[in-house]
Chain A
Amino acid sequence: MRRLLKILDFTLSSLLKRKYKNFALIAVYAFTIAVLGSVLFLTQALKYEATGSLETAPDIVVQRIFAGRHDLIPVNYAETIRRLPGVKSVSSRVWGYYYDSLIKANLTFLASGSDRQTLDLLEGRLPLADDECSIGMGIQSAFGPAIGDSLALEDSAGATKTFQVVGLFRAESNLLTNDLVIFQEQTLRAFFNIDSSLATDLIVEVYNPRETKTLAKKIKYHLADTRPITRDEILHTYETLFNWRSGMMLAVATGALIAFCILAWDKATGLSAEEKREIGILKALGWETADVLTVKLWEGLVISLTSLLIGLIGAWVHVFVFGAPALTPLLKGWSVLYPDFAYTALIDIYQVFVLAMLTVGPYIACTLIPAWKTAVTDPDLVMRG
């Protein structure tokens, strides 16, 4: 142990002799880990948020597919579905998009269900009259209406309709309600000119969650032009959206990994003349090859461990303290309304472990291999270069 500590002491002195190079190396290495770690933490936080919140999403959503695209579904399809054993209830849902050309924002209009109870995350109430609406925080930030003000919107016939804001979703629900405007169902039908015999989709609740998949198959069998989407599929969508193979991970990781490969390649292709001379002198002084390799192992560990710790802390601070400002433009794209919310600091230890293994392991290998090649060579030859 004492011997190992002395070798570590020697390694640290040797690293400090080339302090500018090594500090630069730690900075680049830590930055690479911070970039990868940020994507990892951000996607993980979004995944937890999505899968946790959407656990109470509808059991089955039934869409109609017409000519390969999502189309309005006849409400009478509900009768066929209701007759299937195991179905608890079927209700229609009306929703759609509204593009505002002034601020170039896409809004989502949704009809509230028949439930009139208040919501914990809603300040005010849900609309009860034809000329009322409730809005998300994103719309409030973009247009500035408060409760009591009115929204003037152009309906499908081109006529301007005004709706009084009676409810405002709290900032805590931004990730779910940011661009939402809630209306009564008949109001939204009139606004979009949707016939009462049609709906955007149907919501099916089932008695036994284990029968959901079978019921989805039966719905597809009886109504061939429909596309049933189960809650598991909704959750699976968000699971896969933010996993290792997600576009986000690929977009950021590719650049970072290429930079890291260049760094590792530079290390692996050989030691500097000064480093070689140092190994030669140590061997001439009687150091064993194993001792030289221990020095190099310590060197790799000191640099990679320091970089890993700094990089991970940097990633944590970037995502959970500053709200990932470097990655948000990727998620935002051309959206005008982007939810302003705090990421929940839930981290998968397994992913942190994988990141550590993927970065520390190859770096140590890159440090050891050229050192071993030099250490097994005759000291005289090494010192002469």
Chain B
Amino acid sequence: MFKSWLFFIFCSILALFLAALLVQGAVTSGPVVASLPDGKAKQQLVSRLRLTDLSLCSEARYTRHPSQADLFSAFQDYPGSFEHFPTGSIILPQLEGFNNQLRIVRQGEN
């Protein structure tokens, strides 16, 4: 049974290594960032400069400020035009805050 023990030892080493990596960062809630190094400083920065977005993808305005962009910003030329920015396949404009609805009024209705 030498091979089985060898396999178990191999798997245990990998599993322990993985567990050590996961435990190092295995905390599953948002506020944790504040307890990390620079977490408080980042929150101070966001609060003082009144920032709303991450400076992650700076090629198009709706990927630079996904939470602030309007719907048509993804369609630079006209509504419904093809998206041409590569990060547009990753970051879509958000629908938050738009609640206008087109309504059909039939003849004779108010």
A352 interface residue (CB < 8 Å to B): yes
- Are A313 and B18 touching (Cβ within 8 A)? yes
Most chain A beta carbons < 10 A, residue from B11, B55, B85, B87 = B55
Most chain A beta carbons < 10 A, residue from B36, B39, B67, B72 = B67
- Are A333 and B45 touching (Cβ within 8 A)? no
- Are A113 and B50 touching (Cβ within 8 A)? yes
Give the docked Cα–Cα distance between A337 and B57 (Å).
8
A346 and B97 in contact (CB under 8 A), knowing A12-B4, A138-B55, A175-B56? no
Chain B residues within an 8 Å CB radius of A316: 18, 21
- Which residues, 42 to 76 on B, are CB-close (under 8 Å) to A? 42-61, 63-64, 66-73
Chain B residues within an 8 Å CB radius of A241: 66, 91
Chain A residues within an 8 Å CB radius of B26: 346-347, 349
Quote the shortest CB–CB distance from A338 to chain B (angstroms): 8
A266 interface residue (CB < 8 Å to B): no
A334 and B18 in contact (CB under 8 A), knowing A49-B33, A173-B41, A227-B98? no
- Are A335 and B91 touching (Cβ within 8 A)? no
Quote the shortest CB–CB distance from B69 to chain A (angstroms): 7
Most chain A beta carbons < 10 A, residue from B51, B92, B98 = B51
**Contact among A61, A119, A247 with B90 in the assembled complex (CB-CB below 8 Å):** A247
Give the docked Cα–Cα distance between A346 and B72 (Å).
34
Size category of the A interface is: 35 or more
**Contact among B4, B51, B66, B73 with A69 in the assembled complex (CB-CB below 8 Å):** B73
A48 interface residue (CB < 8 Å to B): yes
Query: Which of the 9-residue segments A145-153, A177-185, A280-288 touches chain B?
Result: A177-185
Quote the shortest CB–CB distance from B34 to chain A (angstroms): 6
Chain B residues within an 8 Å CB radius of A55: 30-31, 33-34, 43, 46
| Cβ contacts A114-137/B at 8 Å (1 or 0 each) | 010101111000000000000010
**Contact among A113, A136, A227 with B48 in the assembled complex (CB-CB below 8 Å):** A113
B9 interface residue (CB < 8 Å to A): no
Quote the shortest CB–CB distance from A133 to chain B (angstroms): 13
A157 interface residue (CB < 8 Å to B): no
- Are A108 and B58 touching (Cβ within 8 A)? yes
Query: Which of the 9-residue segments A229-237, A269-277, A360-368 touches chain B?
Result: A229-237
- Are A233 and B90 touching (Cβ within 8 A)? no
A48 and B33 in contact (CB under 8 A), knowing A69-B73, A120-B41, A312-B18? yes
Chain A residues within an 8 Å CB radius of B81: none
- Are A313 and B17 touching (Cβ within 8 A)? yes
- Are A339 and B44 touching (Cβ within 8 A)? no
A326 interface residue (CB < 8 Å to B): no
Quote the shortest CB–CB distance from A247 to chain B (angstroms): 4
- Which residues, 316 to 347 on A, are CB-close (under 8 Å) to B? 316, 320, 330-339, 344-347
* Sample of 16 further A-B pairs with CB below 8 A, known A234-B52, A240-B94: A12-B3, A12-B7, A51-B30, A57-B47, A57-B51, A58-B50, A63-B97, A65-B70, A106-B64, A121-B45, A227-B70, A233-B67, A241-B91, A333-B85, A333-B87, A334-B87
16 contacts between A and B (CB under 8 A): A52-B33, A52-B42, A69-B70, A70-B68, A113-B48, A119-B41, A120-B38, A173-B42, A178-B58, A233-B67, A233-B96, A313-B17, A313-B21, A333-B60, A333-B90, A346-B28
Q: Give the 10 A-B residue pairs with the shortest CB-CB distance, closest first.
A: A52-B33, A345-B25, A333-B86, A333-B87, A120-B41, A56-B47, A309-B14, A178-B55, A51-B30, A247-B90
